[in-house]
Structure 1
């Protein structure tokens, strides 16, 4: 891999959509690029940003937010900015979206109070809050990635099924239409606590309720995002230099043992 390669990480609305520590996903991507000698730049996408900024972005990260912040973001993410964002996704730009941001990628989100928040309609899903008196979906979560071709790619890379460990904290429930779920639940609520699925996968986009943050607990996902972003940008086969993730693996084994999950 050429050391002159560069990635630009687009961070969606950092001050509005970083409620649950998902800044850690941005830091994880940044560090894993730097440890490999890659040049990396963080590009904040804010209310003051022009739509043209999306042309400069190689991988997109979106985090969680409360209902009020989500509504502010969706009022801004309209028109030319929304079209530029959709175009990047359709072109194959990879991204990871957690908690509130996947709700924005769907058709709409119905909060516990207030009006329906219209989404981008990029993913065929809807999200609804069942009401202020209904308990939130909170706790540790474990699921196996089953979406294709992501599951096959990761299984080949890891030599075993790709198991995700994280933490969920969401009031809304998400229901999928004609979009593939990201994975199958092993422990936790997932999208809605009913159908046994978690997240969604479209093109190179990962949508999930899984915090943790997601990428530090599951660095193979971070590496898939980096590798995919480089391949899309440079239109060439890319192999990443391996990193020492032994401490992460020890932590993952300890977590699975504590949760009494045999994977």
Structure 2
């Protein structure tokens, strides 16, 4: 069996390299001795017959309308995947497009697909910098946030608690959203390359659904050593003590 990871709209939603999270999943699956592939999906006609995980990266605000239009052609599949437990990782504007909607600073709005709770709302100034998040059952996640909107309406279902940085903002102390196996986050990096534990948790879910066993391979241990060194350096720079 070949695990199929769909990379949604990589031509539009890859401003911060977040579409490469799909490659991280593919690589770690292969290192574990599993067959895996990444399928780039720009429209419904590109969809493979079977999907084991979905990655939707972040794009510029200039591409919001065209990205939304293309995602509308996939909304039935996105809702079905979310209901069936297919892991979906959405970052930045990709996450916002799956929400209730996006409010722009000029007063206009972009209607979301309603896959996850909450919406993006304007903030006074853009936030950039290190973001450290404590996530239940996974530990500390590190990344870089770069967004001009806060996120409200997901207070009951955050991905985790902010240890350093802003995250969802508005004084919530929270970052991201998690609804079942659908994850939305501001964490760039790409997040799965910087945080192998999160990648492995997604792969474990993928394999469980497919009736496969997942054990990280030897090459993963080598790469994870680099990620761990970088993670500790980022924690130190952010003034956060390692907690796991």
Out of 64, 73, 79, the position equivalent to 2:67 is 73
Shift of 1:119: 0.7
Partner of 1:116: 109
Q: 1:139 aligns with which of 123, 129, 137?
A: 129
1:230 match: 207
Contact 2:79 2:115 in 1 (8 A): yes
**Structure 2 residue matching 1:85: 3-state secondary structure:** helix
**What CA deviation, in whole Å up to 9, does each residue of 1:123-153 have, x standing for no partner?**
11011123xxx320110110101xxxxx23x
C-alpha displacement of 1:178: 6.7
Alpha-carbon contact 2:25-2:199 (below 8 Å) kept: yes
The 1:257–1:21 alpha-carbon spacing in structure 2 relative to 1, beyond 3 Å, is: same
On the 8 A contact 2:39/2:48 being kept in 1, the answer is no
Match of 2:2 among 3, 6, 10: 6
* 2:227 aligned partner: 248
The question of whether the paired residues in 1 share the 8 Å contact of 2:78 and 2:115 is answered with no
Match of 2:80 in 1: 87
**CA deviations over 1:92-138 (Å, ceiling 9, x no partner):** 001211111111111110122363111111111011123xxx32011
Where does structure 1 lack aligned partners over 5 or more consecutive residues? 146-150, 155-161
What's 1:214 paired with?
Answer: 191
1:182 aligned to which of 156, 159, 163: 159
Q: CA RMSD in A?
A: 1.8
Q: Greater share of strand residues, 1 or 2? A: 2
Task: Return structure 1 stretches of 4+ with deviation > 3 angstroms.
Answer: none
- State the 1:27 CA deviation: 2.2
Query: TM-score, normalised on structure 1?
Result: 0.84
* 200-209 or 247-256, which deviates more: 247-256
Match of 1:64 among 54, 58, 61: 58
Deviations 1:178-227 (A, max 9, x none): 74100000100101252110000011111100101101110111111111
Structure 1 residue 50 and structure 2 residue 40: aligned?
Answer: no
> Is contact 1:60–1:95 with CA below 8 Å preserved after alignment?
yes
Question: In the TM superposition, what is the alpha-carbon distance from 1:258 to its structure 2 partner?
Answer: 2.1
Report the alpha carbon displacement of residue 247 of structure 1 after superposing the two structures with TM.
2.3
